[in-house]
Amino acid sequence: MAKYKTEKEMLDHYRSSDYITPDGYTSDIAIFTIQSYKKEEKAPPVMKLSLMLIKRAEKDKEGNPNVEGGKWAIPGGFVDANHKETALEAAKRELKEETNIDGLHIQHFGVYDRIGRDPRGWMISNAFYAVVPEELVEQRKASDDAAEVELFTMEEVFKLDLAFDHRQIIEDALSFIKKDMIQTTLAKNFLPSEFSLSELQRVLLTVGEDPRISTDSVFFTKAPKLPFIEKVLDEKGQPKKTKRNSFRPSQLYRFNSIEIVQSVYH
């Protein structure tokens, strides 16, 4: 038997407390970069995918023990409903407040809502990621409820005792980055404007093993035909080569302006 005649009447009597509702709404941001180290003069640089983590403060602002205090986590925090914030706005604000990093384009990739993921209650978290050149994370500085902010290689990250379900969030972000690396020209951010195919191969492999890229015979046959790169010529119109990473000269390439719609490395 219907109790109300109009939507307004129904809404006036609606009590959200009759239902289980979330206790909090948060945003988390995974910022990755590729760090490169030149180990030997005539060898290509060693490149490693790294992630920026914060160490959660042991105590909150009032001096009480902090939940998951002392653990490493990706930066994040609560969406400020009093200021009608969206999850994206909260992600950018929290990133700035906790790490001093500003102005990045971040991509939403998931919602984490498993009951029990946060011991304080049912907190639903929106996860964002970005892969940026190292100079963009150089101004990092811990503040607010972050005691430290550091870059860790992925090997190091997975050895840490991470807060909440952040290990799962990081693993999921990684699979998105792997796709980005082969479906977009993301690699461009980590290469000089003129680069050799082995330098391109090294950047692509920082996100994980892929036999189609790591097998030289496959990669070096396919790569020169990629539609979005072109050979660089010198002033005389001859192929321009480099010896910066080897004793044998290697052809230099550059990205052209073709827009990529589909994976092209495969």
Burial class (CB in 10 A: 0-12, 13-18, 19+), 37: exposed
Is 52 a binding residue for ligand RP5 by CB under 6 A? The answer is no
**Cα torsion angle, 60, 65, 70, 73, sign:** negative
User: Residue of minimal CB distance from ligand RP5?
Assistant: 76
CA distance 176 to 184: 11
By C-beta, is 78 or 152 nearer to ligand RP5? 78
Out of 32, 72, 129, 164, point to the residue binding ligand RP5 (CB under 6 A). 164
Q: Does 199 bind ligand RP5 (CB under 6 A)?
A: no
Tell me how far, at minimum, the Cβ of 98 lies from ligand RP5, in Å.
Answer: 8
Query: Binding segment for ligand RP5 among 85-93, 118-126, 132-140, 223-231 (CB under 6 A)?
Result: 118-126
> How far apart (Å, rounded) are the C-alpha atoms in residues 217 and 230?
20
**Is 78 among the residues that bind ligand RP5 (CB under 6 A)?**
yes
Name the amino acid, one letter, at 4: Y
Q: Determine, following the binding rule CB under 6 A, whether residue 118 of this chain makes contact with ligand RP5.
A: yes
CB of 57 to ligand RP5, least distance (A): 9
- Which residues touch 55 (CB under 8 Å, ≥6 apart)? 70, 71, 72, 73, 142, 146, 147, 148, 149, 150
Contact with ligand RP5 (CB under 6 A): which of 31, 36, 52, 77? 77
Residue numbers at the binding site for ligand RP5 (CB under 6 A):
26, 28, 67, 73, 76-78, 118, 123, 125, 145, 164
